[in-house]
Protein backbone atom coordinates (compact mmCIF):
# COMPACT_ATOMS: atom_id res chain seq x y z
CA UNK A 1 0.00 0.00 0.00
CA UNK A 2 1.30 3.43 -0.85
CA UNK A 3 2.41 5.71 1.98
CA UNK A 4 -0.22 8.24 3.07
CA UNK A 5 0.29 11.81 1.88
CA UNK A 6 1.80 14.43 4.23
CA UNK A 7 -0.60 17.26 4.98
CA UNK A 8 0.55 20.74 5.91
CA UNK A 9 -1.58 23.89 5.99
CA UNK A 10 -4.27 22.08 4.01
CA UNK A 11 -1.90 20.98 1.23
CA UNK A 12 -1.40 17.29 0.55
CA UNK A 13 2.02 16.08 -0.54
CA UNK A 14 1.95 12.61 -2.08
CA UNK A 15 4.55 9.97 -1.18
CA UNK A 16 7.56 10.15 -3.49
CA UNK A 17 7.07 13.86 -4.28
CA UNK A 18 8.23 17.21 -2.96
CA UNK A 19 6.44 20.54 -2.75
CA UNK A 20 6.85 24.06 -1.45
CA UNK A 21 3.97 25.15 0.77
CA UNK A 22 3.35 28.71 1.86
CA UNK A 23 2.03 28.59 5.41
CA UNK A 24 0.11 31.83 5.97
CA UNK A 25 1.28 33.71 9.08
CA UNK A 26 -0.13 37.21 9.15
CA UNK A 27 -0.61 40.30 7.07
CA UNK A 28 1.73 43.25 7.04
CA UNK A 29 0.01 46.55 7.76
CA UNK A 30 0.23 47.18 4.05
CA UNK A 31 -2.31 44.34 3.76
CA UNK A 32 0.39 42.22 2.10
CA UNK A 33 0.05 38.60 3.25
CA UNK A 34 3.07 37.01 4.90
CA UNK A 35 3.95 33.32 4.68
CA UNK A 36 6.46 30.94 6.14
CA UNK A 37 7.80 29.01 3.14
CA UNK A 38 8.16 25.29 3.87
CA UNK A 39 9.53 22.64 1.56
CA UNK A 40 8.37 19.09 2.20
CA UNK A 41 10.19 16.12 0.72
CA UNK A 42 7.89 13.17 1.33
CA UNK A 43 9.69 9.88 0.74
CA UNK A 44 8.06 6.86 -0.79
CA UNK A 45 8.92 4.69 2.22
CA UNK A 46 7.95 5.13 5.86
CA UNK A 47 10.50 6.58 8.24
CA UNK A 48 11.20 9.49 10.59
CA UNK A 49 9.69 12.92 9.93
CA UNK A 50 12.52 15.40 10.41
CA UNK A 51 12.01 19.16 10.66
CA UNK A 52 15.11 21.25 9.88
CA UNK A 53 14.57 24.95 10.57
CA UNK A 54 16.65 28.12 10.41
CA UNK A 55 16.48 31.81 11.28
CA UNK A 56 14.15 31.61 14.27
CA UNK A 57 16.41 34.54 15.10
CA UNK A 58 15.94 36.58 11.93
CA UNK A 59 19.57 37.68 11.48
CA UNK A 60 21.06 34.19 11.91
CA UNK A 61 21.38 33.40 8.25
CA UNK A 62 23.88 30.52 8.03
CA UNK A 63 21.01 28.10 8.72
CA UNK A 64 19.07 29.42 5.73
CA UNK A 65 21.92 28.45 3.43
CA UNK A 66 22.40 25.12 5.20
CA UNK A 67 18.73 24.26 4.52
CA UNK A 68 19.07 25.28 0.86
CA UNK A 69 22.05 22.99 0.35
CA UNK A 70 20.46 20.08 2.21
CA UNK A 71 17.43 20.36 -0.08
CA UNK A 72 19.69 20.13 -3.15
CA UNK A 73 21.63 17.15 -1.76
CA UNK A 74 21.48 14.08 -4.00
CA UNK A 75 21.07 11.78 -0.97
CA UNK A 76 17.41 12.90 -0.80
CA UNK A 77 16.64 10.92 -3.95
CA UNK A 78 16.56 7.81 -1.76
CA UNK A 79 14.74 9.42 1.16
CA UNK A 80 13.00 7.20 3.66
CA UNK A 81 10.57 9.18 5.80
CA UNK A 82 9.93 12.90 5.39
CA UNK A 83 12.04 16.04 5.47
CA UNK A 84 10.19 19.22 6.45
CA UNK A 85 12.51 22.14 5.72
CA UNK A 86 11.72 25.57 7.14
CA UNK A 87 14.60 27.82 6.12
CA UNK A 88 13.19 31.02 7.64
CA UNK A 89 11.01 30.74 10.74
CA UNK A 90 11.17 34.39 11.83
CA UNK A 91 10.12 35.85 8.54
CA UNK A 92 9.63 39.33 10.05
CA UNK A 93 13.11 39.44 11.58
CA UNK A 94 14.68 38.08 8.39
CA UNK A 95 13.15 40.85 6.28
CA UNK A 96 14.25 43.44 8.85
CA UNK A 97 17.69 41.81 9.24
CA UNK A 98 16.97 41.62 12.94
CA UNK A 99 17.16 38.88 15.55
CA UNK A 100 13.77 39.90 16.93
CA UNK A 101 10.17 40.38 15.91
CA UNK A 102 8.76 43.85 15.13
CA UNK A 103 7.54 44.10 18.75
CA UNK A 104 11.13 43.36 19.88
CA UNK A 105 10.24 39.99 21.27
CA UNK A 106 12.45 36.96 20.86
CA UNK A 107 10.47 34.34 18.92
CA UNK A 108 12.60 31.67 20.57
CA UNK A 109 11.09 32.62 23.94
CA UNK A 110 7.46 32.54 22.73
CA UNK A 111 6.75 28.78 22.75
CA UNK A 112 4.28 27.15 23.06
CA UNK A 113 2.45 30.37 22.12
CA UNK A 114 -1.26 30.78 21.60
CA UNK A 115 -3.70 31.64 18.87
CA UNK A 116 -4.68 34.90 20.55
CA UNK A 117 -1.31 35.85 22.06
CA UNK A 118 1.38 38.34 21.00
CA UNK A 119 2.73 38.29 17.46
CA UNK A 120 5.51 35.92 18.60
CA UNK A 121 3.01 33.74 20.46
CA UNK A 122 0.87 33.46 17.33
CA UNK A 123 3.80 32.50 15.09
CA UNK A 124 4.96 29.94 17.69
CA UNK A 125 1.42 28.55 17.86
CA UNK A 126 1.24 28.30 14.07
CA UNK A 127 4.64 26.62 13.78
CA UNK A 128 3.87 24.04 16.44
CA UNK A 129 0.33 23.18 15.36
CA UNK A 130 1.06 23.15 11.61
CA UNK A 131 4.49 21.54 11.70
CA UNK A 132 6.22 20.67 14.98
CA UNK A 133 3.46 18.47 16.33
CA UNK A 134 3.58 16.35 13.14
CA UNK A 135 7.30 15.57 13.16
CA UNK A 136 9.38 12.99 15.01
CA UNK A 137 12.79 14.74 15.13
CA UNK A 138 14.01 18.37 14.94
CA UNK A 139 17.25 20.13 14.03
CA UNK A 140 17.16 23.86 14.86
CA UNK A 141 19.89 25.87 13.09
CA UNK A 142 21.33 28.98 14.74
CA UNK A 143 24.22 31.39 14.18
CA UNK A 144 26.10 33.46 16.78
CA UNK A 145 24.80 36.86 17.84
CA UNK A 146 25.81 40.06 16.10
CA UNK A 147 29.64 40.54 16.21
CA UNK A 148 30.05 37.18 17.94
CA UNK A 149 31.41 34.21 16.04
CA UNK A 150 30.55 30.72 17.28
CA UNK A 151 32.62 27.65 16.63
CA UNK A 152 30.34 25.02 15.03
CA UNK A 153 28.74 23.31 18.02
CA UNK A 154 25.69 21.29 18.92
CA UNK A 155 23.58 22.10 21.96
CA UNK A 156 21.29 19.44 23.28
CA UNK A 157 19.66 18.01 26.37
CA UNK A 158 21.63 14.78 26.46
CA UNK A 159 19.39 13.08 29.01
CA UNK A 160 17.12 12.04 26.13
CA UNK A 161 19.00 9.12 24.49
CA UNK A 162 17.57 9.80 21.02
CA UNK A 163 18.65 13.45 21.30
CA UNK A 164 22.12 12.33 22.40
CA UNK A 165 22.28 9.99 19.41
CA UNK A 166 21.44 12.87 17.03
CA UNK A 167 23.96 15.19 18.74
CA UNK A 168 26.72 12.62 18.40
CA UNK A 169 25.83 11.83 14.77
CA UNK A 170 25.87 15.52 13.77
CA UNK A 171 29.63 15.48 14.25
CA UNK A 172 30.33 19.11 15.22
CA UNK A 173 33.63 19.30 17.13
CA UNK A 174 31.96 20.39 20.38
CA UNK A 175 28.72 19.26 22.03
CA UNK A 176 27.29 21.34 24.86
CA UNK A 177 24.88 19.57 27.19
CA UNK A 178 22.66 22.62 27.37
CA UNK A 179 19.73 23.07 29.72
CA UNK A 180 16.37 24.05 28.25
CA UNK A 181 15.39 27.72 28.17
CA UNK A 182 11.77 28.29 28.95
CA UNK A 183 9.82 29.40 25.90
CA UNK A 184 12.35 28.11 23.38
CA UNK A 185 11.49 25.85 20.47
CA UNK A 186 13.94 23.32 21.90
CA UNK A 187 12.27 23.29 25.33
CA UNK A 188 8.82 22.92 23.80
CA UNK A 189 9.92 20.08 21.49
CA UNK A 190 11.56 18.37 24.46
CA UNK A 191 8.31 18.67 26.45
CA UNK A 192 6.56 16.79 23.62
CA UNK A 193 9.32 14.17 23.80
CA UNK A 194 10.53 15.07 20.31
CA UNK A 195 14.31 14.63 20.15
CA UNK A 196 15.81 18.00 19.18
CA UNK A 197 19.31 19.38 18.67
CA UNK A 198 20.41 22.94 18.07
CA UNK A 199 23.37 23.71 15.81
CA UNK A 200 25.24 26.97 16.36
CA UNK A 201 27.94 28.37 14.12
CA UNK A 202 29.30 31.64 12.75
CA UNK A 203 28.13 35.20 13.22
CA UNK A 204 24.81 36.96 12.57
CA UNK A 205 24.32 38.53 9.10
CA UNK A 206 27.40 36.78 7.70
CA UNK A 207 27.86 33.60 5.75
CA UNK A 208 30.75 31.42 6.76
CA UNK A 209 31.71 28.57 4.47
CA UNK A 210 33.26 26.36 7.15
CA UNK A 211 30.15 26.72 9.30
CA UNK A 212 27.75 26.12 6.42
CA UNK A 213 29.69 23.08 5.19
CA UNK A 214 29.79 21.53 8.66
CA UNK A 215 26.08 22.27 9.14
CA UNK A 216 25.11 20.58 5.86
CA UNK A 217 27.30 17.57 6.64
CA UNK A 218 25.86 17.41 10.14
CA UNK A 219 22.23 17.37 8.97
CA UNK A 220 22.99 14.66 6.40
CA UNK A 221 24.89 12.62 9.01
CA UNK A 222 21.89 12.79 11.37
CA UNK A 223 19.62 11.67 8.50
CA UNK A 224 22.01 8.79 7.84
CA UNK A 225 21.98 7.84 11.53
CA UNK A 226 18.15 7.85 11.44
CA UNK A 227 18.35 5.72 8.28
CA UNK A 228 16.51 8.37 6.26
CA UNK A 229 19.27 8.39 3.63
CA UNK A 230 21.62 5.54 2.62
CA UNK A 231 24.95 4.93 4.31
CA UNK A 232 27.98 6.38 2.63
CA UNK A 233 30.02 4.01 0.51
CA UNK A 234 33.75 3.70 0.96
CA UNK A 235 35.93 3.75 4.07
CA UNK A 236 34.07 4.60 7.27
CA UNK A 237 34.97 7.83 8.96
CA UNK A 238 36.26 7.64 12.52
CA UNK A 239 33.39 7.52 14.98
CA UNK A 240 34.86 10.15 17.24
CA UNK A 241 34.23 13.58 15.75
CA UNK A 242 32.89 15.40 18.80
CA UNK A 243 33.74 15.88 22.42
CA UNK A 244 31.09 16.85 24.97
CA UNK A 245 31.97 19.80 27.19
CA UNK A 246 31.65 19.51 30.96
CA UNK A 247 30.45 23.12 31.03
CA UNK A 248 31.30 26.51 29.56
CA UNK A 249 32.14 29.96 30.79
CA UNK A 250 31.98 33.46 29.35
CA UNK A 251 34.97 35.75 29.81
CA UNK A 252 34.14 39.43 30.19
CA UNK A 253 36.15 42.59 29.66
CA UNK A 254 37.43 44.09 32.94
CA UNK A 255 37.68 47.59 31.52
CA UNK A 256 36.26 49.64 28.64
CA UNK A 257 38.62 49.95 25.73
CA UNK A 258 39.81 48.77 22.37
CA UNK A 259 40.44 45.06 22.18
CA UNK A 260 43.21 43.19 20.37
CA UNK A 261 42.53 39.47 20.29
CA UNK A 262 45.36 37.09 21.08
CA UNK A 263 43.55 33.75 21.22
CA UNK A 264 41.54 32.53 18.24
CA UNK A 265 38.44 30.43 17.69
CA UNK A 266 38.90 26.71 18.29
CA UNK A 267 42.21 27.25 20.06
CA UNK A 268 43.11 25.30 23.20
CA UNK A 269 43.85 27.65 26.09
CA UNK A 270 45.22 27.04 29.57
CA UNK A 271 43.97 28.66 32.75
CA UNK A 272 45.62 32.08 33.08
CA UNK A 273 46.58 32.22 29.39
CA UNK A 274 46.19 35.58 27.67
CA UNK A 275 43.08 35.81 25.47
CA UNK A 276 43.15 39.50 24.50
CA UNK A 277 44.53 42.92 25.38
CA UNK A 278 42.23 45.85 26.07
CA UNK A 279 43.72 49.34 25.98
CA UNK A 280 42.64 52.96 25.83
CA UNK A 281 43.31 54.73 22.50
CA UNK A 282 46.69 56.03 23.77
CA UNK A 283 47.89 52.67 25.00
CA UNK A 284 48.54 54.06 28.46
CA UNK A 285 46.04 51.96 30.36
CA UNK A 286 46.25 48.40 29.13
CA UNK A 287 44.83 45.23 30.66
CA UNK A 288 45.31 41.60 29.66
CA UNK A 289 42.17 39.43 29.61
CA UNK A 290 43.13 35.95 30.73
CA UNK A 291 41.28 32.67 30.63
CA UNK A 292 39.64 31.64 33.91
CA UNK A 293 39.96 27.96 32.98
CA UNK A 294 41.56 25.55 30.56
CA UNK A 295 39.45 24.69 27.55
CA UNK A 296 38.64 25.38 23.91
CA UNK A 297 37.57 28.81 22.63
CA UNK A 298 34.04 28.30 21.25
CA UNK A 299 33.04 31.93 20.65
CA UNK A 300 34.98 35.13 19.97
CA UNK A 301 33.83 38.72 19.85
CA UNK A 302 34.77 40.27 16.50
CA UNK A 303 34.07 43.89 17.44
CA UNK A 304 37.20 45.52 18.91
CA UNK A 305 35.26 48.20 20.82
CA UNK A 306 34.30 46.78 24.19
CA UNK A 307 32.56 47.99 27.32
CA UNK A 308 33.36 46.82 30.80
CA UNK A 309 31.44 43.66 31.53
CA UNK A 310 30.93 42.72 27.91
CA UNK A 311 31.28 39.03 27.04
CA UNK A 312 34.23 38.66 24.68
CA UNK A 313 35.26 34.99 24.78
CA UNK A 314 33.35 31.80 25.48
CA UNK A 315 35.43 28.89 26.75
CA UNK A 316 34.21 25.29 26.87
CA UNK A 317 35.69 23.13 29.61
CA UNK A 318 36.25 19.41 29.19
CA UNK A 319 37.05 16.52 31.47
CA UNK A 320 39.46 15.33 28.81
CA UNK A 321 40.86 18.38 27.08
CA UNK A 322 43.16 16.28 24.90
CA UNK A 323 40.07 14.52 23.45
CA UNK A 324 38.52 17.90 22.61
CA UNK A 325 41.77 18.87 20.91
CA UNK A 326 41.62 15.71 18.83
CA UNK A 327 38.04 16.52 17.80
CA UNK A 328 39.19 20.03 16.77
CA UNK A 329 42.09 18.60 14.75
CA UNK A 330 39.76 16.19 13.02
CA UNK A 331 37.31 19.01 12.28
CA UNK A 332 40.03 21.22 10.80
CA UNK A 333 41.43 18.51 8.59
CA UNK A 334 38.06 17.27 7.31
CA UNK A 335 35.89 20.35 6.85
CA UNK A 336 38.51 22.95 6.14
CA UNK A 337 40.17 20.81 3.50
CA UNK A 338 36.87 20.45 1.70
CA UNK A 339 36.02 24.13 1.96
CA UNK A 340 39.29 25.39 0.54
CA UNK A 341 38.56 23.57 -2.71
CA UNK A 342 34.98 24.76 -2.98
CA UNK A 343 35.18 28.44 -2.22
CA UNK A 344 36.25 31.54 -4.03
CA UNK A 345 38.01 33.73 -1.45
CA UNK A 346 36.08 36.88 -0.63
CA UNK A 347 39.25 38.78 0.19
CA UNK A 348 42.31 38.43 -2.03
CA UNK A 349 44.43 38.04 1.12
CA UNK A 350 42.53 34.97 2.34
CA UNK A 351 45.03 32.95 0.33
CA UNK A 352 47.96 34.69 2.02
CA UNK A 353 46.79 33.64 5.46
CA UNK A 354 46.95 29.94 4.72
ZN1 LIG B 1 19.83 31.99 17.67
Ligand 1 centre distance from Cα of residue 45 (Å): 33
Which pLDDT band holds residue 83 (cuts at 50, 70, 90)? very high
Report how far residue 119's alpha carbon sits from residue 105's, in angstroms, rounded to the nearest whole number. Answer: 9
Which CATH number does the domain housing residue 60 bear? 3.40.630.10
Ligand 1 centre distance from Cα of residue 249 (Å): 18
pLDDT of 339 reads 78
Q: Same domain for 169 and 255?
A: no
Ligand 1 centre distance from Cα of residue 165 (Å): 22
What total number of domains does the chain contain? 2
Ligand 1 centre distance from Cα of residue 61 (Å): 10
Task: Report the percent of the chain where pLDDT is more than 90.
Answer: 83
Q: Is 18 exposed, middle or buried (0-12, 13-18, 19+ CB in 10 A)?
A: middle
> Residue 291's domain spans which residues?
247-317
Ligand 1 centre distance from Cα of residue 231 (Å): 31
Ligand 1 centre distance from Cα of residue 161 (Å): 24
Which pLDDT band holds residue 341 (cuts at 50, 70, 90)? low
Which pLDDT band holds residue 100 (cuts at 50, 70, 90)? very high
Report how far residue 311's alpha carbon sits from residue 300's, in angstroms, rounded to the nearest whole number. Answer: 9
Ligand 1 centre distance from Cα of residue 348 (Å): 31
Q: Is 26 exposed, middle or buried (0-12, 13-18, 19+ CB in 10 A)?
A: middle
Which pLDDT band holds residue 82 (cuts at 50, 70, 90)? very high
The verdict on pTM exceeding 0.85 is yes
pLDDT of 163 reads 98
Is 330 inside a domain boundary?
A: no
Is 339 inside a domain boundary?
A: no
Chain mean pLDDT for the chain: 93
Ligand 1 centre distance from Cα of residue 142 (Å): 4
pLDDT tens across 127-174, in order? 999 999 999 999 999 999 999 999 999 999 999 999 999 999 999 999
Ligand 1 centre distance from Cα of residue 349 (Å): 30
Given a cut of 90, is residue 238 above it in pLDDT? no
pLDDT of 317 reads 98
Amino acid sequence: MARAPFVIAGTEIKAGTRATVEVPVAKLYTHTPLHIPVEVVHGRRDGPVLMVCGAIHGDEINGVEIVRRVLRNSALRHLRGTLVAVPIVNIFGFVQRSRYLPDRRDLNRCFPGSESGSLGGRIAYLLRTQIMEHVTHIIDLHTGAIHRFNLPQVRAELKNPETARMAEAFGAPVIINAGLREGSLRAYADSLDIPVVTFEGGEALRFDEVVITSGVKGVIRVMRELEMVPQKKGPRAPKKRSETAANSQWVRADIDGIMRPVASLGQKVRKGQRLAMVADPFGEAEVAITSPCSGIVICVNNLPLVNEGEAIYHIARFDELSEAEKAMDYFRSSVEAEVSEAVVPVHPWDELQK
